[in-house]
Amino acid sequence: MRQQAFSTWRYFDFWLMGAVVLLVIFGITMIRSAVAGNIELVALNLVQRQLIFAVAGFVVILIVTSIDYRLWSSISRPMYWGTMGVLVVLYVVGSALYGSARWFDTGVILIQPSELAKIVLILVLADYFTRHKDLMQDLSWVARSFLMTMGIVVWILLQPNLSTSIVMIVLWFALLWASGLRIKHLLIFIGAAIVIPIAGFPFLVDYQKKRILNFLFPDPSARHGDIYNIQQALISIGSGGWFGEGYGHGTQVQLRFLKVRQSDFIFSAMAQEFGFVGTLLVVLVLLFVIYRCVHTARIASDTFGALIAYGVATMIAFQAIVNIGVNLNLVPATGLTLPFVSYGGSSLLSTLLGIGLVESVNLRQKSLEF
């Protein structure tokens, strides 16, 4: 029995795990620099909280890795309805008490269910597409998968949380494409992806409209709000140069000109303190993590495992692209974190849970190649 267990764990992807550990440690270190000198942020114990979530997340990786990923297929429906139920309760309670809410306040920590919902959606869609892979050429089955996705997304939109909703739509499309979507159907969905956001603009809440309009028609004289944040982010990135101003010595960071620097704009903070070279190294490690997830998908023993790994890779890649794009003023401002690096316990925990699922797929394939 011991020999069999050891043989199985031989396929654990230590390269993937090592890269994730590096990113998480760097993220905690960067958060410490971002909040240094700010009495209000220091009092919130953000570094300690992120460290606790990181430790819990690595324990989750080991637990989830030890569980056969195929088990999640058998309970995908209860997970789906359970997740929807939690989101409905959050919306009802939040609307009654605060006008809107994205988190459950336990009194000790804040828990954001929409972060876990991304992982649940990956599992549910992977199971659905695996079960109906021979019917994917029929648009009615594709439409059902979209309705399943919207069953969760609509409650996240109502929070309101547009950025996470977009991530979930991207996950649906990526897994649909990986399941063998025809080119002609792909073109239809690309057209819909262009038309729907334009048609849906009037239904966005005011701050979401403002972010988009500020991105399209910026006011250079603005000294507050999203425009100010983007200006400070660009100044931070530009002043970092090749090698940065040094850890804990970034002027925009330490003098607090750069806002939300521990989460949304942590990329700009590290660009100023570590420069182009340091930032490039972090991005390369992120790319390596994505590559290892895709590699796992390619060597998975079944479709379900492959789609899980593709889903996790897509989630990490899309969030990283959007976060960096916001910092570089290439896309409108959103609240998406930089995976493994930005402050956010629920985000970190759900991403590490995704890594655990990928490792579970790794353990149950025939060979691990570098």
Please report, for the chain, the start and end positions of each structural domain, with discontinuous segments joined by +. Answer: 2-363
pLDDT score for 99: 46
Contact 128, 306 (CB under 8 A): no
Across all residues in the chain, what is the average pLDDT? 83
pLDDT in tens, 92-135: 876 544 445 666 665 556 678 888 999 999 999 999 999 887 77
Among residues 4, 8, 1, 2, which one has the least CA distance to residue 359? Answer: 8
Residue 185: pLDDT band by 50, 70, 90 thresholds?
A: low
Higher pLDDT, 229 or 350: 350
